[in-house]
A and B are shown apart, each in its own frame.
Chain A
Amino acid sequence: GQNIDQPTEMTATEGAIVQINCTYQTSGFNGLFWYQQHAGEAPTFLSYNVLDGLEEKGRFSSFLSRSKGYSYLLLKELQMKDSASYLCAVRDRAGNMLTFGGGTRLMVKP
């Protein structure tokens, strides 16, 4: 089975940097995903890590340590539009199941 944990809520200031952590315990692992979801909308793909290390995409970076079962999403130069839920999801070894954590609701304040 999969157990994926992330903080429920976070608050940060516009222009700042925020790190959202995700820890997982899984029976198999074949990649970790981060999604952004605004209220009432579908999740939008942000990043995918299957090897250890940092993947950078503009203002967003994602880090993975497979030995520690740990990932984080780093958001730089926060903007008000970054207020959303951020979902961590893990794919199992067979590549079939994509299981989500509970999501982290990020509020960006002026």
Chain B
Amino acid sequence: DTEVTQTPKHLVMGMTNKKSLKCEQHMGHRAMYWYKQKAKKPPELMFVYSYEKLSINESVPSRFSPECPNSSLLNLHLHALQPEDSALYLCASSQDNGRNGEAFFGQGTRLTVV
């Protein structure tokens, strides 16, 4: 099983709404990531969780709030977003260091802020 599952696949939200994106993996990976991707651009790292602890926050605005309830789940809570936050939000997971360090992405949540 090399699957990272993200829900929902599509989300339209208003600027005053609160919503959450969810990500799940059962590969035993201990690093999980949130990326943001705009059209025709590479993914940009937002957050990294390592062993369920936030290890990297790439200066992301506080209207994005990550949460890692356990080693298989990663959430991204959204509040008071702006239209420019519309993008594809990608979750990824990977092993730690070592030879078998593949990193897999979920199918993404396409977010539109109106």
Contact = CB atoms under 8 A, between A and B. Distances in A.
Do A and B come from the same complex? yes
Contacts of A51: 99
Interface in B33-60: 33, 41-45, 48, 50, 55-56
A43 B91 CA distance: 10
Quick one: which of B31, B50, B90 has the most chain A CB within 10 A?
A: B31
B102 A43 contact: no
Contacts of B45: 97-99
A53 to B, nearest CB: 12
A60 interface: no
B56 A96 contact: yes
Contact of A96 (B41, B48, B102): B48
A42 B102 contact: no
A100 B105 contact: no
Mostly helix, strand, loop or mixed at chain A's interface? loop
Interface in B48-107: 48, 50, 55-56, 88, 90, 92, 94, 96-99, 101-107
Contacts of B101: 30-31, 48, 50, 91, 95
A91 B103 contact: yes
Given A30-B101, A45-B102, A45-B103, A100 B42 contact: yes
Contact of A42 (B56, B90, B99): B90
Interface string A78-110: 000000000101010001111111110000000
A44 B90 CA distance: 12
B105 A96 contact: no
Given A35-B105, A50-B98, A98-B45, 14 more contacts: A33-B102, A33-B103, A41-B108, A42-B88, A42-B107, A45-B2, A87-B42, A87-B43, A89-B103, A91-B101, A98-B92, A98-B94, A99-B45, A101-B42
